[in-house]
Amino acid sequence: MRMRKLGRTGIEVSAYCLGTMVFGKMGNPDHDDCVRMIHRALDAGINFVDTADVYGYSETEEIVGKALKGRRDEVVLATKFNGPMGESPGRSGSSRRWIVQAVEGSLRRLRTDYIDLYQIHHPDPHTDIEETLSALTDLVRAGKVRAIGSSNLPASEIVEAQWVSQQRGLHLLRTEQPTYSILNRGIEREVLPTCHRYGLGVLVWSPLAMGLLTGHYRKNAPRPAGARMQWVPRHLTDERKLDAVERLLTLAEEAGHSLTHLAMAFATSHPDVTAAIIGPRTMDQLDNLLAGATLTLGDDTLDKIDAIVPPGTDISPLDVSHTPLPLTRTDLRRRPPHERAAA
């Protein structure tokens, strides 16, 4: 397994990060099987594990904690906060009040006294970033967290967070976790250059475009029985994505690789990407991913990928990508009726 430095933290991590979102009720409900998969990944050289409190509403962190018993020091353990952990008010977001509660819950479920990388899961437009960074800084100083990071932040908010930390003497966000795949290359325009400028480690999620880049979803073909991504219908039926997949399948065959291995090698080939998060649901899926871990792509193949999906291009956003509030709330992009009438 190839190893890389996680930004400027000095922490060394594997180029594949084991994502655990589908361990538990969201994918594989067999806890013992999930534990065996985590052990298989560790034995194969993966030392980077990513989870979140909201995955399975705490179930997934419990599985990870069980799996890491006796092996905690082998692992760079990352988790996230911010997502809703129940219907009660205040059990989500990036406020100091919630962060100090959320971290204790994660530490308990993960059966550890420290988290290597604690990440803001989503932007929180309702909380001042200084409030969030101040609380996270206190966790680092208390020894409960080793490094802090973010996920799904636009470039402008990455810059703002860096500025606030520098001006207020707070700990810096050291990593960013955006979506990135052959089909979703938008972060190449601003997010990756910004991460490079500030020395942030980048761990990308969904390098297989939520299953489309496995080749199991084909144009004019029925969806595979039991497919776990039936809840993202627009993504799976987008004609532009399916057209690109057909061309990529041909390219992969000509290059002598599976589409899965081609897609993973693409994601880890970008010099500003530290690690790509894999999300296997079964042992067979994990073994298939591990089989391609050493693959590197030559310039000729990368040029052909660029011709199919140009650099910096999102064919269309993932159904589950973060969407800024002004794009979903009309009151944030339209003047009130009385102001429009007076204009």
Q: Catalytic residue numbers?
A: 55
- Rounded Cα–Cα distance for residues 51 and 290 (Å): 19
Q: Two tokens at 233? A: 């219908």
- Rounded Cα–Cα distance for residues 224 and 97 (Å): 44
Within 13 Å and on the Cβ side, how many CA atoms surround 240?
12
Residue with tokens 């001042």: 128
315 burial via Cβ count (<10 Å: 0-12, 13-18, 19+) = buried
Residue type at 107 in one-letter notation? L
- Rounded Cα–Cα distance for residues 97 and 203 (Å): 27
Q: Two tokens at 307? A: 């011709």
**CB atoms closer than 10 angstroms to residue 33:** 14
Q: Which neighbouring-strand residues pair with 4?
A: 13
Residue type at 30 in one-letter notation? D
Instruction: Tell which residue, 108, 67, 105, 115, has the closest CA to residue 85.
Output: 105
